[in-house]
Amino acid sequence: MFWVDERVVPKDHPDSNYLLAFDGFLSKVPIPPGNVHAINDALSAEAAADDYETHIKHLVHNGIISTSETTGFPKFDLMLLGMGPDGHVASLFPGHPLLAEKSKWVTFIKESPKPPPERITFTFPVINSSANVALVVAGAGKAHPVHVALGNGQEPEPLPVQMVAPEGQLAWFLDKDAASKL
């Protein structure tokens, strides 16, 4: 298990995606600890991103994770993504320069428009090398970006969610409120 993005806070902090995953899932299933690959929360955002990318490259080198024949980026079997009310996915926000990152596997952001400000994130080349992506979206506050991405809504620039284009399958899972403008 890997994190597509993570807030650079201690693992026991209420904003930690690790804590959310541990409380809601990992503490309830028999996953060996060696199969859980969390970021090093003792490092700065930049160092944590570099460390996480190095860790993933090591797993690729040892044949634990395969790579895309097309792109050479790691090819995860399944990537679970959510979407924010501004159309962001992972920690890739509208209008941010990280949307254009083409070579890094993992990068960092220090000025996230959504607190906390420091995060690490997979880049679009990694997200889009996935065999399958499940995009789970809930809530009326996300109806507009869902409409833009799946309906005929308009935005001056593409939303980050519209840049999700995996090599494999993309499946959207919407609740009634998120789908209310379709």
2-34 pLDDT tens trace: 999 999 999 999 999 999 999 999 999 999 999
Give tens-digit pLDDT for 92-106: 999 999 999 999 999
In this structure, the chain runs to a length of 182
- pLDDT band at residue 152 using 50, 70 and 90 as cut-offs: confident
Separation CA 121–CA 3 (nearest Å): 8
- Given a contact cutoff of 8 angstroms between Cβ atoms, the answer to whether 74 and 64 are in contact is no
What is the SS3 string spanning 2-55? Answer: ECCEEECCCCCCCCCHHHHHHHHCHHHCCCCHHHCECCCCCCCHHHHHHHHHHH
Q: Where are the beta strands (DSSP E) in the chain?
A: 5-7, 79-81, 106-109, 119-122, 132-137, 169-174
CB 90 within 8 A of CB 61: no
Given 3.20.20.70, 3.40.30.10, 3.40.50.1360, 3.30.360.10, which CATH number is that of 5-174?
Answer: 3.40.50.1360
| Cβ–Cβ < 8 Å for 178, 139 | yes
Domain assignments of the chain as residue spans, ordered by start: 5-174
Q: Is the pLDDT of residue 153 over 80?
A: no
Residue 47 phi/psi, 5-degree rounding, is: -65, -40
